[in-house]
């Protein structure tokens, strides 16, 4: 059973629909006890870093998420949810994150000219898998996924970066992973068949690092 964490900043409709299509049993909960007891967490998010962390603390979910990570449970963050796995973020000030994967969240680089990528980065982008990512078949053909973001993660350990996109000449992490902790900067639930395949393989752990 997957627990989709409702902390007030998630696109729950799209997530629920994707999980229904994949026939993955799940519940949606904002109850810290329910979250803490879950072995697999889906952690979506839209909005700003600081606001999201305030909501997580306000609902008493900070310790619950840490407990899941400490016991080796799976946490999969999507978009803002992936960014919140980092140590801190710099969106409208400096804010502490969940600190589950060492790193920071910074604004994406601005285009140097009229042909660059406008920020926010919105649209379909090709994700290049890093060597040694494992046997996740869906990434072998460098597929396209749907992005909507103005900020991106910077992992302290390069080994935690599993896939990247190019934004105005900079290599920006699109997939991060450390043990059972995973983050997708894009929206797999909005990325068609390939996105659903990636979500299914990740939640069912049919790949390795």
| Helix (H), strand (E), coil (C) string for 18-49 | HHHHCCCCEEEECCHHHHHHCCEEEECCCCCH
105 Rama class: left (phi>0) / alpha (psi -120 to 50) / beta: beta
Location of structure tokens 């896939």: 163
- The CATH number of the domain holding residue 93 is 3.40.50.880
Confidence of residue 209 (pLDDT cuts 50, 70, 90): very low
| DSSP H/E element including 76 | strand 74-78
Compute the mean pLDDT over every residue in the chain, rounded to the nearest whole number. 92
pLDDT of 45-97, one tens digit each?
Answer: 999 999 999 999 999 999 999 999 999 999 999 999 999 999 999 999 999 99
Q: What are the φ/ψ torsions at residue 18 (nearest 5 degrees)?
A: -65, -45
Share of residues in the chain with pLDDT > 70 (%): 94
Q: By C-alpha distance, which of 38, 43, 36 is closest to 65? A: 36
- Residue 132 pLDDT: 67
Is 80 within the bounds of a domain? yes
How many domains, the chain? 1
- Residue 134 pLDDT: 57
Is 188 within the bounds of a domain? yes
What is the distance between the terminal CA atoms of the chain, rounded to a whole angstrom?
23
Is 209 within the bounds of a domain? no
- Residue 137 pLDDT: 62
Confidence of residue 206 (pLDDT cuts 50, 70, 90): very low
Between 169 and 131, where is the model more confident? 169
Question: At residue 205, does pLDDT exceed 80?
Answer: no
What range defines the domain where residue 190 resides? Answer: 2-203
pLDDT of 10-33, one tens digit each?
Answer: 779 999 999 999 999 999 999 999
Question: At residue 152, does pLDDT exceed 80?
Answer: yes
Is 121 within the bounds of a domain? yes
Between 141 and 26, where is the model more confident? 26
Is 62 within the bounds of a domain? yes
- Count H helices, E strands: the chain? 6, 14
Question: At residue 39, does pLDDT exceed 70?
Answer: yes
Is 208 within the bounds of a domain? no
Is 134 within the bounds of a domain? yes
- Residue 130 pLDDT: 86
Catalytic site residues?
79, 187, 189
């Amino acid at each position: 059973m997957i627990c989709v964490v409702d902390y007030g900043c998630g696109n729950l409709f799209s997530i629920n629909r994707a999980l229904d299509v994949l026939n993955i049993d799940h519940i949606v909960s904002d109850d810290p006890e329910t979250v803490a007891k879950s072995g697999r967490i889906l952690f979506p998010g839209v909005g700003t870093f600081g606001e999201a962390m305030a909501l997580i603390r306000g609902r008493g979910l900070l310790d619950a998420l840490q407990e899941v990570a400490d016991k080796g449970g799976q946490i999969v963050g999507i978009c803002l949810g992936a960014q919140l796995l980092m140590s801190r973020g710099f969106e409208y000030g400096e804010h502490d994150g969940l600190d589950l994967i060492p790193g920071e969240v910074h604004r994406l680089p601005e285009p140097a000219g009229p042909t660059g990528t406008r920020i926010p980065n919105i649209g379909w982008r090709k994700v290049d898998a890093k060597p040694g990512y494992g046997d996740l078949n869906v990434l072998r053909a460098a597929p396209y996924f749907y992005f909507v973001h103005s900020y991106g993660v910077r992992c302290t350990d390069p080994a935690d970066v599993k896939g990247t996109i190019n934004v105005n000449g900079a290599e920006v992490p699109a997939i991060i992973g450390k043990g059972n902790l995973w983050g997708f900067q894009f929206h797999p639930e909005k990325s068609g068949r390939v996105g659903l395949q990636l979500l299914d393989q990740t939640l069912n752990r049919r790949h390795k690092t």
